[in-house]
Structure 1
Amino acid sequence: MNANALALGAIVLWAALAALGVALSHVPPFLLTGLSLLMGSAIALPLSRFDWRQWKVPASTLALGVYGLFGFHFLLFIALRHAPPVQANLINYLWPLGIVVMAPLFLPDVSLTRRHVLAALLGFAGAALAILGRGGSAEVVWAWGYIPAAASAFIWASYSLLTKRVKPFPTAAIGSFALASGLLSLVCHWWLEPATALSTRDLLLIAVLGLGPLGGAFFLWDAALKRGDARQIGVLSFLTPLLSTLTLLLVRGEMPGIPVVVAAAMIIGAAVLATRR
């Protein structure tokens, strides 16, 4: 399958994360992430045809996977607790820009062109408009939570690029990344969060979250990066906050406003600019 199509599949799944997160907002975040990642790791079973050998990777590669999946979510949760969520979310969405800009640093055979830089900046401007256009306070205030928000963006961008530098591994090995990261998240829940009883509805939604945004999306993302141009995929990723906003509006029965429409035009224009030959 085409790499950009695989990346778009991951982006579509990530777009549902906000809506599912709202429905599960009463569940402590580390518990939610841990259970979802454990559920997501199960996708590797049919993907590997139940061959556990495909889960095995060198310790350094497993460490990279935990760095990406666990490190990203850990720092993002800290950021959302110690900074205004709108601004923290916007800073976190620097990761697509980071993929484009840092690609030549991590991938020696990749060069950075003015076209990709322009597309990345246009995409980030569209993402900012989509996020800030949802409403809420856009007042610029300093909060130390911006630091972990920026760090989480760096982690996901660098993880995405570094997976192309390590010894090739089957996409099914993402299951071991998710399993280890899920267990670490549950340890953080036990250490930092109160015990919580979950209803049957909660468990069903967590299963959907694990099979989709916190599971299936990671497998699609890895397959896309293995096959495609990281610069193009980075620009396409700016569709994530836009689709997330549209999904939330749909769930609430609201119509998108002018800022969201303009953001859509900017991001789609950036994607066309980045992917044209």
Structure 2
Amino acid sequence: MEKSLATFLGFGAVLLWSVLALLTVGSDPVPPFQLSAMAFAIGGAVGLAFTHRGGRMRSTLTSTPPIVWALGVGGLFGYHALYFFALRMAPAAEAGLIAYLWPLLIVLFSGLLPNERLRPLHIIGALISFAGAGLIVARGGAGFEWAYAPGYALAVLCALTWSGYSVLSRKFSEVPTEIVTFFCFATSVLSVIAHLLFEETVTPSGVMTWVSIIGLGAGPVGAAFYLWDVGVKKGDIQLLGTASYAAPLLSTCVLIVAGITQATVVILLAAVLIAVGAGLAALGSRKSSSRT
């Protein structure tokens, strides 16, 4: 697969994540781990249909090294578990901003990969885009307080988990994307266990709630992870990392269109910063490719 096509598919994951907030709101009052269990089960089922049709189910299961299983399940379940607990132990705005360090960390960590070169424009672009995302994620936040240090620490681990999963996945680019199917099922099982330990079961009621849950499983918590796997393994990982900061902006725009939030000057400024940052990262990638 060509690098440009893989990068384009990776962008598809970012677009799907833009409706994550809307569908999560629609799934209320289902608790986080229960919602994760249901959505990942649907996401696994989506992948299973393609894996079974391709006749590669058995070979994918038997040929995948244990370390890849640990990386995949740890990345998907670990990220969500740490994120949920971080939001419980610290204010959502501040914890969310810290957790959203993962695109910047992807850009920085990618420089350690073979055949990858981290240029100054990648770093500058990622920092500018992070500033734009920060305006959105932390708007209305009360500021950082040491009383919430445990929650902040979990948010840092959350960012490290997803960035580590994304970058290290590139080292196993020969592993077919179909394996994400079974990462989703394993994450669903672990989410069920966490749900039984920490939450009370809520039976979804209403068409909108069920549509939101199915939509999550088919899109942001389903197809997005397959597209992301292709992108980070075969595409321009630095550009994808920076472009990922568009997710909170697009998510906010979706909420505006849905009438859940209002458009503000802050959002406009964030859009400019994210666009400038992504443009600089793209320019850095173009210069890198022109010199190879």
User: Shorter-chain TM-score: what band?
Assistant: over 0.9
* 1:96 counterpart = 2:100: no
CA distance in 2, matches of 1:119, 1:163: 23
User: How far apart are 1:47 and its partner, in Å?
Assistant: 2.5
CA distance in 2, matches of 1:187, 1:167: 30
CA distance in 1, matches of 2:212, 2:272: 32
Give the aligned residue type for 1:139: G
Counterpart for residue 163 of structure 2: 157
Contact 1:8 1:236 in 2 (8 A): yes
Q: TM-score, normalised by structure 1?
A: 0.94
Give the aligned residue type for 2:14: I
CA distance in 2, matches of 1:19, 1:190: 26
- The DSSP-based 3-state class of the residue aligned with 1:212 is helix
User: How far apart are 1:160 and its partner, in Å?
Assistant: 0.3
CA distance in 2, matches of 1:73, 1:272: 29
User: How far apart are 1:112 and its partner, in Å?
Assistant: 1.7
* 1:229 counterpart = 2:236: yes
User: How far apart are 1:203 and its partner, in Å?
Assistant: 2.9
* 1:40 counterpart = 2:46: no
CA distance in 1, matches of 2:96, 2:176: 31
CA distance in 2, matches of 1:255, 1:78: 28
* 1:208 counterpart = 2:212: no
Cα distance, 1:72–1:267 mapped onto 2, change above 3 Å: same
Percent identity between the aligned chains?
A: 39
Cα distance, 1:253–1:151 mapped onto 2, change above 3 Å: closer
**Superposition RMSD on alpha carbons, in Å?**
1.6
Superposed CA deviations along residues 57-102 of structure 1, whole A, max 9, x for unmatched, are 2222111111110000000000000100001111111000000011
- The DSSP-based 3-state class of the residue aligned with 1:164 is helix
Superposed CA deviations along residues 119-168 of structure 1, whole A, max 9, x for unmatched, are 110110010012234xx333232212011111011000000011111361
| Comparing 67-76 and 220-229, the one that deviates more | 220-229
CA distance in 2, matches of 1:167, 1:4: 14
Counterpart for residue 240 of structure 1: 247
User: How far apart are 1:222 and its partner, in Å?
Assistant: 0.6
CA distance in 2, matches of 1:108, 1:97: 19
Consecutive unaligned residues of structure 1, counting only runs of 5 or more, are: none
CA distance in 2, matches of 1:253, 1:194: 27
- Of Structure 1 and Structure 2, which has the larger fraction of its residues in helix? 2
Cα distance, 1:200–1:25 mapped onto 2, change above 3 Å: closer
Cα distance, 1:167–1:272 mapped onto 2, change above 3 Å: closer
Contact 1:54 1:173 in 2 (8 A): no
CA distance in 1, matches of 2:5, 2:254: 25
CA distance in 2, matches of 1:6, 1:179: 22
Contact 1:94 1:153 in 2 (8 A): yes
Q: TM-score, normalised by structure 2?
A: 0.89
